[in-house]
Structure 1
Amino acid sequence: MSANSGDGTVVEVVLLKAGRTKIRYPAELLADDGSRVTVRAEWAGEGARDFGFVRFEPGDVFTEWYWRDRWYAVKAVRGPSGVLKGWYCDVTRPAGFSGGELVVEDLDLDLWVSADGREVLRLDEDEFAASGLRERDPEAARNAEAALDKLERLAREDGLGSLLA
């Protein structure tokens, strides 16, 4: 793929959790530089989902960045009018991309950053602890925790845009 795809190519994003497909959805491939893959997709959940700190709903647009060599994915979430709601970050194993499928394994840890950067929330640490990853794959657990720490530090210090430049 070229560094500036954006030609309307559609790929399937496949999010795995505990070895099973959690969700699969089509996305427009915007760029692939060999390390980072960027796609854009509409909210793929059924109906609206209110997390308390943000509401995802039909018409929301996610611009998503995945790395083949990093343990996270970053998603800019915009409402239908284009206004930024914030940034949702998933801690994942490095992404795989082949045959039109972008595959990532969700490791339960997440980070939310509000559009103005004032709210930075670590999410699902209880799910991560209960997942058993620390026992099954201690190295992956260390990488996941380090990724969450890095994302939080970047969000608080420079903003997540520094990752995407």
Structure 2
Amino acid sequence: MSGNSAERAGELEVVLVKAGRTKIRYRSELLLDDGNHVAVRAPWAGEGVRDFGFVRFEPGDVFTEHYWRDRWYAVKEVRAGDGTLKGWYCDVTRPAVRDGAELVVEDLDLDLWRSADGTEVLRLDEDEFAESGLAERDPEGATAAVAALDELEKQARAEGGLTALLA
């Protein structure tokens, strides 16, 4: 299918890049692209079950993902196959770039989890971020990434949680 057909069909391929290589790519349903904010919906794209201890991602889960061309993060609402909200998984990324029917996002290792009831807010993978060498290679990018994680955590702990970022 050509890029134009995918756009007309409401599809967008999300390409997650990490350390210069494609980590995963998957098809999604394009919900919104207002020129800055891109929202898509996709089933769990991983292999089998991924148990993080604080949440399990598994076949049947549905992710509604929000990306921005001017923000250094993505916010992903995670629901079980029956529609039950599991929570929000946030990736710290460079601003998203859309090229036709592809949305390319560079993962910068830092992540945040907020449980559905808001009682659990976890900063994740700070050790991987430190080991990535981004602070040495791209100090401005590293500073922006840490600021994005701080912003996500602040919003996740606030009244209304991460949904306020989506408005």
Q: Distance in 2 between matches of 1:164 and 1:82?
A: 19
Task: Give per-residue Cα distances to partners, 1:55-97, cap 9 Å, x unaligned.
Answer: 0000000000000000000000000000000000000000001
Amino acid at match of 1:67: W
Amino acid at match of 1:88: Y
**Consecutive aligned runs of 4 or more in structure 1 exceeding 6 Å deviation:** none
Counterpart of 2:115 in structure 1 is 114
Counterpart of 1:94 in structure 2 is 95
Deviation of the 1:99 alpha carbon: 1.5
1:47-86 aligned at under 5 Å gives the runs 47-86=48-87
Query: Normalized against structure 2, the TM-score is what?
Result: 0.94
Q: Distance in 2 between matches of 1:60 and 1:157?
A: 26
Q: Distance in 2 between matches of 1:10 and 1:162?
A: 26
Q: Do residues 163 (structure 1) and 165 (structure 2) align?
A: yes
Where does the alignment leave 5 or more consecutive residues of structure 1 unmatched? 1-6
Q: Do residues 26 (structure 1) and 27 (structure 2) align?
A: yes
Where does the alignment leave 5 or more consecutive residues of structure 2 unmatched? 1-7
Query: Normalized against structure 1, the TM-score is what?
Result: 0.95
Q: Distance in 1 between matches of 2:28 and 2:140?
A: 31
Counterpart of 1:136 in structure 2 is 137
Q: Distance in 2 between matches of 1:20 and 1:35?
A: 24
CA RMSD after TM alignment: 1.2
Task: Give per-residue Cα distances to partners, 1:98-135, cap 9 Å, x unaligned.
Answer: 12000000000000000011100000000000000000
Q: Distance in 2 between matches of 1:98 and 1:133?
A: 25
Deviation of the 1:8 alpha carbon: 4.9
Counterpart of 1:15 in structure 2 is 16
